[in-house]
Homo-oligomer: A and B are copies of this chain.
């Protein structure tokens, strides 16, 4: 195609996570054919977000204010700090309605193969945060994947050295599931951690 701007648009769309050549083409054609307004709105939204969305100085999540609303909320229990990998994980915890402490968002997890080490996931910032005092228990709510576990392990060591109570979300059989269809490693863990 000799259409430079169309090609550039397809290339730019391809950089979105989970978007291959075919989807990028489909998106570009759709926007140009049916939703030019939507395309301009998306361009504006990208621009605004890059300009206005930064990180909360306390919990490191995405925030448009210097400190996010959750961190400023006086009703939250400042003695509890849940460490999560992403703002999406934070949102999932919030939706349960059963957590009232504060958060620290790593914005990543250890991933040596991708060159993501302790320094890239805000470990220093987390330790600084707890060194400021006030936190009594840190709940490590990273994923139950190999990388999430490694992250939790590393953080757990450093936090326990500081004399903090460190807990991890319970591993076990998900609500509503039949044992027959649960993977073996989950059942094994649930058995060990039975109560």
| Residues of A that sit less than 8 Å from B by CB | 1-6, 8-9, 11-13, 15-18, 22-23, 25-33, 35-36, 38-53, 62-64, 68-69, 86-88, 91, 107-108
Contact = CB atoms under 8 A, between A and B. Distances in A.
Given A31-B46, A43-B50, 14 more contacts: A4-B64, A5-B52, A6-B53, A6-B64, A9-B45, A9-B49, A15-B35, A15-B38, A16-B31, A17-B27, A17-B30, A18-B27, A33-B107, A42-B42
Q: Which 3 A-B pairs have the closest CB atoms?
A: A43-B46, A12-B45, A12-B42
A90 to B, nearest CB: 9
The count of identical subunits is 2
B3 A32 contact: no
A47 B4 CA distance: 13
Contacts of A88: 22, 25-26, 29
Contacts of A52: 5
Given A3-B62, A43-B46, A16 B27 contact: yes
A46 B2 CA distance: 17
16 contacts: A5-B51, A5-B52, A8-B49, A9-B49, A9-B53, A12-B44, A16-B27, A16-B42, A17-B30, A18-B23, A18-B26, A22-B88, A29-B88, A33-B108, A39-B49, A46-B46
